[in-house]
Amino acid sequence: MEFIVGYPKGSPLVSDYLANKDQVADFFGRSFLSVGDFQSKAMEVDGRFGRAERELAAQAVLVPPGADEARLEAFVEKGGYMVTTGQQPGLLGGPLYNIYKAFTAARLAAVLEERLEKPVIPLFWVSSEDHDWDEAGHTEIIGVDNKIHRIELENVYSETDPPIHRIQIGSAAQDQIDEFVQLLPDTEFSSDISS
């Protein structure tokens, strides 16, 4: 099976940022490649957020079952940091970049924790107050045929434009889940995904 992957595309601003060019440094304020810039930001956070603010932040985090709550306690006790990112909701997790964003936040948090020698927690939020079903009710996936397939779920909620978190999908999405699984390549993880 062959997958075709291109180089990152975008505006010259994005290309220059990724290349860490000086002419865009002032626009972004900091370089994602500079440990010193992360240390500088950490000092800025320390000056603005003390224990009380960290306690409030920790209380706002919904800890999933089985997660290590001691990490949040260490974040408060040791003056830790959070790497945050988020996205609007999307069917089956939405676009693949949502997953990349979450993984990137987790990886960056691990690197910064080592470099800053303080707890760094990755935090991914979902903007579930969003009302746009046209954006949230579908996803697109590249199938084993190297074509883009759109998987869509009809909004059967009677209220006009409810917040996405109030829409109960339940078993109505089973056909879309089955279609999603059928489009994936067969791997050693296939049985885990389909169950």
Q: Are 23 and 89 members of one domain? A: yes
Using CA atoms, how far residue 188 sits from 123, 181, 185, in Å, is 29, 13, 10
Model confidence pTM above 0.85: no
DSSP class of 185: P
Q: Are 96 and 173 members of one domain? A: no
Q: Are 18 and 108 members of one domain? A: yes
Q: Are 140 and 98 members of one domain? A: no
**Burial class, 175, CB count within 10 angstroms (exposed 0-12 / middle 13-18 / buried 19+):** exposed
Q: Are 95 and 41 members of one domain? A: yes
* Domain housing 170: 133-194
End-to-end CA distance of the chain: 24
Q: Are 119 and 138 members of one domain? A: no
Backbone angles phi, psi at 157, to 5 degrees: -75, 135
Read off the pLDDT of residues 70-94 as tens digits, 9 standing for 90 and up. Answer: 889 999 999 999 999 988 777 777 7
15 confidence band (pLDDT: 50, 70, 90): confident
